[in-house]
Amino acid sequence: MTASISPTLVRRIRSARHVTAFTGAGISAESGVPTFRGTDGIWVKFKPEELATMDAFMRNPELVWEWYVHRKKVIAEVRPNAGHEALVALERLCPHFAVITQNIDNLHRRAGSTTVYELHGNIERNYCMECGERVSNEAVLASSGVPQCPSCGGKVRPDVVWFGEMLPENEWEGAVRAARSSDVFFSIGTSAVVYPAASLPLMARESGAYLVEINPEPTPLTDHADEFLCGPAGEILPAIVRAVTGTRSTGASPIHSD
């Protein structure tokens, strides 16, 4: 059975000037990129503190690089899915549309989204920890072990944000601006436990946004959402686009709404 997207949500999107989609690993799950937490999450096999911190990197850079090279190869092979594509369609329907992503997989840009704030970096970029020089993915993938800077010989790292590190200032400021100006704010495929990113949906709601969560599982955010659409992003987001454009009304049932 397919239930309809709520008329309230359709009306909110149609009348919105600013719509924002805040995404996490769940939106890329249907492309074949593993999530971090949950039954097939990366962290089931590896603890975050063993891999995604500067301490871990300094202790065992070979292991951390092995993990990133594996993920670079997985991400290079996958394609954006119907969820990413539906956000591109929504961007075309809304006067101002922004994607704020915690993902490092570049799939929103590859799908065609144009305003994308990447809070946790991008796995396709790398830089030297000594002199800051950018090092291409090709060079990194061609080297064995820990890649070294061609200019100074320093250790190269992926351009991602590890625990205990600050988020890139411009991306964070853009994300806060988008959250605070949102009329409708979607939180999609994130467990909403990693801060400061997880503060954005509540920031948006405080500023008057209609908060919609899309996830197959409830999260700490669920009770704060105006609507919780329970299910996979790759099904629910296209259903929202169909409902807004009036092409067809299918999709998920809101569990609660205002």
Binding mask 125-154 for ligand BJW (x = CB under 6 A): ------------------------------
Cβ-proximal residues to 200 (8 Å cutoff; 6+ apart), any chain: 22, 100, 175, 176, 179, 185
Find all residues with CB under 8 Å of 146, minimum gap 6, and list them. Answer: 61, 62, 65, 155, 156
Minimum Å distance from CB 108 to ligand BJW? Answer: 13
From the list ligand BJW, Zn ion, none, partner contacted by residue 152 (C-beta under 5 to 8 A by kind): Zn ion
Name the binder of 149 from Zn ion, ligand BJW, none, CB < 5-8 A by kind.
Zn ion
Q: Which listed range, 129-137, 140-148, 190-198, 204-212, lies at the site for ligand BJW (CB under 6 A)?
A: 190-198
Q: Using an 8 Å Cβ cutoff, are 107 and 126 in contact?
A: no
Place of tokens 């809101």: 254
Contacting residues for 46 by C-beta, under 8 A, at least 6 apart:
67
Q: Does 215 bind ligand BJW (CB under 6 A)?
A: yes
Q: Is 160 in the site for ligand BJW (CB under 6 A)?
A: yes
Q: Is 190 in the site for ligand BJW (CB under 6 A)?
A: yes
Residue 193 in contact with ligand BJW, rule: CB under 6 A: yes
Q: Which does 154 bind (CB under 5 to 8 A by kind): ligand BJW, Zn ion, none?
A: Zn ion
Which residue type, as a one-letter code, is found at position 142? A
What value, to the nearest 5°, has the Cα angle with vertex 180 and ends 171 and 29? 55
Q: How far is the CB of 167 from Zn ion (least distance, A)?
A: 23
Residue 156, helix vs strand vs coil: strand
- Whichever of 66 and 133 has its CB closer to Zn ion, that residue is 133
Least gap, CB of 164 to ligand BJW (angstroms)? 5
Helices (H), the chain: 7-15, 26-29, 42-45, 48-51, 54-59, 61-77, 82-93, 107-111, 137-142, 169-180, 200-206, 233-245
* 76: contact with ligand BJW by CB under 6 A: no
Buried b / exposed e over 29-67, threshold 16 CB at 10 Å, is bbbebbbbbbeeebbeebeeeebbbeebbeeebeebbeb
Kindly indicate which of the ranges 7-15, 25-33, 87-95, 178-186 contains the residues binding ligand BJW, using the contact rule CB under 6 A: 25-33
Question: Applying CB under 5 A, which residues contact Zn ion?
Answer: 128, 130-131, 133, 149, 151-152, 154
Closer to ligand BJW by CB, 49 or 153: give it. Answer: 49
Which of the residues are catalytic?
120
Residue 81 touching ligand BJW (CB under 6 A)? no
Residue from 20, 31, 102, 106 in contact with ligand BJW (CB under 6 A): 102
The reply to whether 41 sits near ligand BJW by the rule CB under 6 A is yes
The SS3 assignment for 6 reads coil
